[in-house]
A and B are shown apart, each in its own frame.
Chain A
Amino acid sequence: MDILRFITAGSVDDGKSTLIGRLLYDSKSILVDQLEALEKQSKNKNADGIDLALLTDGLRAEREQGITIDVAYRYFSTPKRKFIIADAPGHVQYTRNMITGASNSSLIIILIDARAGVIEQTRRHSIIASLLKMPHVVVAINKMDLVDFSEERFNEIKADYEKVAAQLNLGNVTYVPISALLGDNIVDHSETMSWYTGPSLLEFLEAVEVASDINHKDPRFQVQYVIRPQTAELHDYRGYAGQIISGVYKTGDKIKILPAGIDSTITKIEVGGKEVNEAFPPQAAVLHIADDIDISRGDTFAHVDNLPKVANEIEVVLCWLDNKPLIQGNKYFLQHKGRLLKTIVRNVAYKVDVNTLERIPAEDGVKLNEVVHATIKTAAPLVYDHFDTLSDYGNAILVDETSNSTVAAVLLN
């Protein structure tokens, strides 16, 4: 049994809350007391006597203001998998939330209202999925009950979306016709849509292969914390703790420590306090090396014959997440995993319209929810990979020096 993390993109109007409610309800993750509370509140009851959308009802602060503040995380499991849903609101002003949710997901469910077809919002969600290189996309064409469960309508929308997917280079797109309200093709196959022979949504989520998304060929490890007990019996113990980001590390491996550029050899590997011969992603490991070298948090251990990039002037895509606008020439902290570097945003080349992919001049400044191409300069060389080739070592954030807020998602190029 493994974990699948996915994000649902769509608005209440697309039936997103009903879909999540349906997944939780049909997988029996909703318990009796929660159901009883729902039954009391439900006004829009379905055949089961409850309003599934209420299962994902938000905070009182949100209800009072009629808004959704944030990404909510939901959990359910089946005998095959544990699922973590990042439930993000889908409107344009929430691009920030979608990026946050998508950054921790390996699959996105894009909801389309079968009556409306592919709309601007669908394109926006798809552009974000493409920008963040999400490995799996499911297009759930919902409200099929409102278009007479029409195969023709399904094929029409599918053909429309295929054009979007081709333009955005989205791979691994799966199409499922559903009715979240009635439960068609969510867990069980729809009786009324016998023309659809593919898996139900849950069957697909249970089966989709995510283990192969993990990179096992380019070893990347960043020192997170140095373990030095300095007790009598562990006097000389010095272990470098961190997560295996990608690739596989074995004892005896020849490594290069970056950015210093010093070579050494791995002498011992520990995971959870036990010695092992090799470590792989996403294990939290402790590596020991042969030489006594000054190493601190943020240093990269790479294989001598497979090196990441080292640069201090880098082209980036910035997704701006803060209410304060981006000001060209301002200094920020760049946080790349555990490494913190002073950074200047030097040149903002252009904005990308997240609805159309068009390039727009960035002269009037960069505001919340905008995506821009820019150049940054770091105070010391950054050790990283291209986001498109090794996204796990090609992502970072910008932190405002004065407010300490996380102001941008950074894709390194």
Chain B
Amino acid sequence: MGEYTLDYLEQLEAESIYIFREVAAQFEKPALLFSGGKDSITLVQLAKKAFAPGKIPFPLVHIDTGHNFPEALAYRDALAKEVGAELIVRKVEDTIKQKHLTEPKGKFASRNWLQIHTLLDTIEEFKFDACIGGARRDEEKARAKERIFSVRDEFGQWEPKLQRPELWNIYNGRIHKGENVRVFPISNWTELDVWNYIKKEEIPLPSIYFAHEREVLEHEGQLIAVSDYITIDETDVISTKKVRYRTVGDMTCTAAVESSATTLDEVVNEIMATRISERGETRIDDRVTEAAMEDRKKGGYF
């Protein structure tokens, strides 16, 4: 029976494709939340395979904080065109203006919290009943406990105590009007699984994932790209370093790592050798409080 076996990446892929098809079958208006990061790029690849030779039967939605890496935006536009999917972009900037939201202050003021408002408004505007996201359970302990089909109330809130038991591979997506489901098809993938899959499938990535020269400032051991979105003080030391990004979020809350890796093989080797976690190394937003992710999820975040 040896011939009828799948390796771990094929098993993960099969599970994720199954989940994508459940979403398409169970919901009337799903959307794929696309950030331009490697996890959502992996989602698009899986969705392509799930519905081939047809097109992906739902739009890509990007909640644009206005603090994105230009490379990620260019990649987003090109990818949407390539797969023939509708691309819906909603800007946090517009929500801030319309709703008179208060922008966070500080050196690396992040719109991470504010994007929840734009996301919920977008869900409301298009009446999305399922939003597919690229969160992984290995990232963080709040994520470790979330379901693959995660039912959110009309405020988008996650209630860990009221989660539905998720048995076998049966996904219960029945919801009441106003509720929606967040679906995480790569829940069971780790960071390294995603990288190995990208390598195996030869998926092109935005250039910032590979080593390049960039002006950065060093803050509490992390390297932050110099941009218009952060406050630069006189005491900051700015230098040009060879860096790459391990995860791609906003320019204000994503840190770079020093690297000379210019190919996928080299990147994967560096990640295998690293002794620091993805979030620990690169996400400034999780450092604020120990329960930062738990709080954001309860507030409607992914």
Q: How far is the CB of A3 from chain B (nearest CB, A)?
A: 5
A405→B4 contact, CB < 8 A: no
Given A273-B49, A273-B52, A284 contacting B18 (CB threshold 8 A): yes
Taking the complex as formed, is A224 at the interface, i.e. its CB lies under 8 A from any CB of chain B? yes
Q: How far is the CB of B181 from chain A (nearest CB, A)?
A: 11
Contact with B along A253-289 (1 / 0, CB 8 A): 0000000000000000010110000001111101000
Q: How far is the CB of B82 from chain A (nearest CB, A)?
A: 15
B145→A71 contact, CB < 8 A: yes
Chain A residues within 8 Å of B151, by CB: 404
Q: Which of B119-153 contact A (CB under 8 A)?
A: 137-138, 141-142, 144-145, 151
Query: Chain A at the B interface: mostly helix, strand, loop or mixed?
Result: mixed
Taking the complex as formed, is B81 at the interface, i.e. its CB lies under 8 A from any CB of chain A? no
A60→B294 contact, CB < 8 A: yes
Residue of A nearest to B280 (CB): A33
B294→A61 contact, CB < 8 A: yes
Taking the complex as formed, is B263 at the interface, i.e. its CB lies under 8 A from any CB of chain A? no
Given A33-B276, A33-B281, A61-B160, A225 contacting B24 (CB threshold 8 A): yes
A228→B145 contact, CB < 8 A: no
Contact with A along B59-80 (1 / 0, CB 8 A): 0000000000000000000000
Q: Which residue in B53, B144, B161 is a CB contact (below 8 Å) of A61?
A: B161
Q: Which of B189-223 contact A (CB under 8 A)?
A: 190, 192-193
Given A32-B276, A234-B54, A284-B50, A96 contacting B137 (CB threshold 8 A): no
Residue of A nearest to B192 (CB): A77
Q: Which segment, of A115-123, A200-208, A392-400, faces chain B?
A: A392-400
Distance A70 CA – B146 CA, assembled complex (angstroms): 9
* Number of chain A interface residues as a range: 35 or more
Chain B residues within 8 Å of A241, by CB: 21, 50-51
Q: Which segment, of A98-106, A168-176, A341-349, faces chain B?
A: A98-106
Q: Which of B29-58 contact A (CB under 8 A)?
A: 48-55
Q: Which of A322-365 contact B (CB under 8 A)?
A: 333, 335-338
Residue of A nearest to B289 (CB): A60
A82→B193 contact, CB < 8 A: yes
Distance A363 CA – B297 CA, assembled complex (angstroms): 42
Chain A residues within 8 Å of B176, by CB: 404
Q: How far is the CB of B88 from chain A (nearest CB, A)?
A: 22
Contact with A along B1-19 (1 / 0, CB 8 A): 1101111101111110110
Distance A409 CA – B21 CA, assembled complex (angstroms): 22
**A58, A59, A280, A282 — most chain B CB neighbours (10 Å):** A59
A335→B142 contact, CB < 8 A: no
Taking the complex as formed, is A156 at the interface, i.e. its CB lies under 8 A from any CB of chain B? no
**A225, A234, A248 — most chain B CB neighbours (10 Å):** A225
Q: Which residue in A58, A82, A336 is a CB contact (below 8 Å) of B141?
A: A58
Q: Which of A172-226 contact B (CB under 8 A)?
A: 211-212, 214, 216, 224-225
Chain B: interface residue total (CB-CB under 8 A) = 63
Distance A158 CA – B220 CA, assembled complex (angstroms): 53
B24→A395 contact, CB < 8 A: no
Chain B residues within 8 Å of A97, by CB: 165
Q: How far is the CB of B38 from chain A (nearest CB, A)?
A: 17
B165→A406 contact, CB < 8 A: yes
Chain B residues within 8 Å of A69, by CB: 145, 160-161, 163
Q: How far is the CB of A217 from chain B (nearest CB, A)?
A: 10
Q: Which residue in B11, B51, B175, B291 is a CB contact (below 8 Å) of A59?
A: B291
B145→A72 contact, CB < 8 A: yes
Distance A84 CA – B8 CA, assembled complex (angstroms): 11
Taking the complex as formed, is A252 at the interface, i.e. its CB lies under 8 A from any CB of chain B? no
B4→A225 contact, CB < 8 A: no
Q: How far is the CB of B16 from chain A (nearest CB, A)?
A: 8
Taking the complex as formed, is A229 at the interface, i.e. its CB lies under 8 A from any CB of chain B? yes
Q: How far is the CB of A28 from chain B (nearest CB, A)?
A: 8
Q: Given known contacts A212-B1, A241-B50, A282-B14, what 12 new A-B pairs fall within 8 Å (CB)?
A: A2-B7, A32-B276, A33-B277, A75-B137, A96-B165, A104-B169, A237-B53, A333-B174, A336-B170, A337-B169, A395-B167, A406-B167
Of the A-B pairs whose beta carbons lie under 8 Å apart in the complex, a sample of 23, sorted by A's number, is A2-B6, A31-B275, A31-B276, A37-B290, A59-B142, A60-B290, A70-B163, A82-B8, A84-B188, A211-B5, A224-B18, A224-B21, A225-B25, A227-B52, A237-B53, A237-B54, A241-B21, A272-B52, A273-B52, A282-B18, A284-B14, A321-B165, A392-B168
Kindly list the 6 A-B residue pairs having the minimum CB-CB distance in the complex, ordered from nearest.
A273-B52, A33-B280, A229-B54, A284-B17, A404-B174, A60-B291
